[in-house]
Amino acid sequence: MVNPTPQPVQPLLVFANIAKNFGAVQALRGVDFELRPGEVHALLGENGAGKSTLIKVATGAHAPDSGHLVLGGRRLDALNPATARALGVACIYQQPALFPDLTVAENLALRLEPAGAWRRVDRRARRVRAAELLQRLGADLAPDAEIRDLSMPEQQLVEIAAAIGAGARIVIMDEPTASLTQREQERLFAIVRTLRAEGVGVIYISHRLEEIFALADRVTVLRDGASVGTHAVGDMDAAGLIRLMVGRELAGLPPPGGTVPGEIALELRGTGCAAAGVGSVTFAVRAGEILGLAGLVGAGRTELARVLFGLTPADEGEILREGRPVRLDSPQAAMAHGLAYVPEDRRRHGVVMELPVAQNITLAAHRRVFRHGWLSAPAENRVAAEFIARLGIKAAGPEAAVATLSGGNQQKVAVARWLATAPRVLILDEPTQGVDIAAKGELHRIIRELAQGGLAVILISSDLPEIIGLCDRIGVMRGGTLREILPGGTAAPVVMAAALGTNEKEGAA
C-alpha cells in the first residue's frame, strides 16, 4: 500500500512583502513572515528593528502601506482590531490592558460577552466561566479578585485566559517575562507549551535568547525594518542570532575626536531609584568625553536619565558633580548643578511645536533674555541667532514655528534649548531617532564638537553603530543597572551579547 503524500500545513498567518512608513521613517521594508498551527515562532531584533510595528499590523492597529496578509485562509490588504479579534488574533502585552477596579470575572466578561444595551447580566455564569478558564491554565486566582490586587504575572494570566476564552488561534506575546520571577517564567512557559499542543500558533517576542532556545520552533530576525532570515531554532546558536541582529556596517560616522578627557564632571556611586526601577549604578563621565549607554527596551537607560535630571530623584547611593555630592531632586536642581537633558520624544517633551524657533531655544534660559522682569526681544533673537548659526538650524528665521521644520531641525532646536543654559553635562536620549541620514550626520558632528569643546556627554541610543562609532566608552545596561563598561569601537556582537546577558566570547564568535 502506498502511503499518501502528506499535505502541506496551512499557515495560520502570512505576512507578504509588508511595508510601513511613518513620514520619512521606513519602519517595515517588505517583511515576509509565516506562522503555522502548533508553532512557537520567535521574533527577534534590536530596538527599532520593526517588531512592534509588525505586531500592530497583525492586530489591526496599523494598516500596511503595501503588501498583504493571509489570515485564516483569507487574503487581506489590512485589518482593523475588531476583525483581527474575530479572526482569532490575541496579543498579550508586557503591561496588561485590564480595568483595575473590576474583578477578574468582569474583565473577562468585557472581552468575551457580546455587547448589548438590554442584556441581562448573569454574574454567577460569569464567575463559573472565569473559574473554568483559570483552572485550564492552572491559575490559582479567584474570579472575584480585583485586578488592582493582582501581581503582574497574575494579570498576564487573566489576559491569556481571555485569549483562550475567545478561541484565539494566534497568540502574540510581547516581552511577557520582563517582570516575572524564575518560577513565574516557568509557569508561563508551561502555558505556552500547552497552547502549542492545542494547535495554537504563538508569536513570541523576547530579548532573552535563553527563552528563544527553550520555547521556540522557528525564529525570524528583523533588522532595520526588514526580515533578514527565518531559521529552525535547532539550527542556530546565540552567536549566529546576534550576528543576524546587528549585521550592519559602521558607516557615515565622524572619525574619533582624539581629545583627552578632562576632570570627572559627573560620578554615580551605587545610585538608584526604586520607583524608576534603577539600582546600584556606578560610573563616572569626564569633561570632553562621550559616554554611551546601550541596552535593550526596559534596560533602564531612559529611567536613569530621568533620575539624573531630578524627574524621579535617586533614593540610594551618591551623585557627585566635580567631586562634590549633590542632591538632584528636581529639574531645577539638576540645571543649577550644570545638567541638561534632551528627552527621547521631541514632539511631546523636546520642543513646543506651536512656538517660534526663538522662544523654543530660550525656554530654559530665561535669565539670558529677561531684563528687569521683562522679556527683551533683541536678547531673545540674539540667543536664537547664535544657536541657529552654531547648529546649522535650517529655518525661515527665528520667528518660524517649529512645526514647519524638518525632524532633524526640530531635534537641533531641542538640543539648542539646553545648550543655551550653558550646561557642563549634557544627557541626550535617542537624539537621532526618526531623522533622515543627512540630519543624523549633522547631529553626530554637533555631538562630537560639543565634547571637543569640553562638555561631558551621556548618549543614550538604540542604534548600535551610532553608539560604537561615536562614543569614547560604552556602558551596557540590563535589568535597571549598569552591567559593564566597554571601550568605544567594541564590536557590535560583543555589545549586543552584553545587553542580552549572554556569554561575551560566545556572542563575539
Maximum alpha-carbon separation in the chain: 101
Output DSSP code: residue 338: T
CA 434 to CA 222: how far, in whole Å? 18
Q: What is the DSSP string of 198-224?
A: TT-EEEEE-S-HHHHHHH-SEEEEEET
The pLDDT score that the predictor gives to residue 118 is: 64
Provide CB contacts within 8 A for 43, sequence distance 6+: 33, 51, 54, 55, 203, 204, 205, 219, 220, 222
Q: What is the mean pLDDT of each run of 10 residues along the chain (509 residues)?
A: 61 93 82 95 85 91 92 86 89 81 92 72 89 85 90 83 89 79 78 91 88 93 91 91 72 56 94 94 96 88 94 95 95 94 80 84 73 71 85 84 82 89 92 72 88 94 87 93 92 89 53
Task: Order the strands of the 40-44 sheet from edge to edge.
Answer: 89-92, 170-174, 201-205, 40-44, 218-223, 226-232
- 271: enclosing H helix or E strand: strand 264-273
The pLDDT score that the predictor gives to residue 373 is: 66
Helical H segments across 344-403, by residue range: 357-362, 377-391
Which three three-digit cell numbers place residue 272? Answer: 538608584
CA 189 to CA 180: how far, in whole Å? 11
CA 181 to CA 189: how far, in whole Å? 12
The CATH number of 13-246 is which of 3.40.50.150, 3.40.1110.10, 3.40.50.300, 3.10.20.30? 3.40.50.300
Which three three-digit cell numbers place residue 360? Answer: 523654543
The pLDDT score that the predictor gives to residue 481 is: 94
Output DSSP code: residue 356: B
Nearest by Cα to 271 from 341, 326, 343, 333: 326
Contact 67, 104 (CB under 8 A): no
Which three three-digit cell numbers place residue 315? Answer: 533614593
Nearest by Cα to 12 from 84, 63, 64, 77: 84
CA 290 to CA 1: how far, in whole Å? 73
Contact 498, 475 (CB under 8 A): no
Domain residue extents for the chain: 13-246, 252-338+424-509, 348-422
Q: What is the pLDDT of residues 116-145, one digit of tens each?
A: 656 677 889 999 999 999 888 777 889 999
CA 94 to CA 154: how far, in whole Å? 12
CA 364 to CA 422: how far, in whole Å? 10
The pLDDT score that the predictor gives to residue 509 is: 38
Q: Cell match 523654543: residue?
A: 360
Q: Indicate the pTM of the whole model.
A: 0.65
CA 444 to CA 436: how far, in whole Å? 12
CA 446 to CA 250: how far, in whole Å? 18
From residue 59, how far is each of 64, 66, 78, 327 by CA, in Å?
A: 12, 16, 10, 45
Q: Parallel, antiparallel, or unpaired for β 370-371 and 339-342?
A: unpaired
Same fold, 13-246 and 252-338+424-509: yes
CA 44 to chain centre: 13
Backbone angles phi, psi at 192, to 5 degrees: -60, -40
Backbone angles phi, psi at 29, to 5 degrees: -125, 80
Q: What is the DSSP string of 128-184?
A: HHHHHHHHHHT----TT-BGGGS-HHHHHHHHHHHHHHTT-SEEEEESTTTT--HHH
CATH of segment(s) 252-338+424-509: 3.40.50.300
Q: What is the DSSP string of 292-329?
A: EEE--TTSSHHHHHHHHTTSS---EEEEEETTEE----
Nearest by Cα to 233 from 262, 194, 261, 206: 206
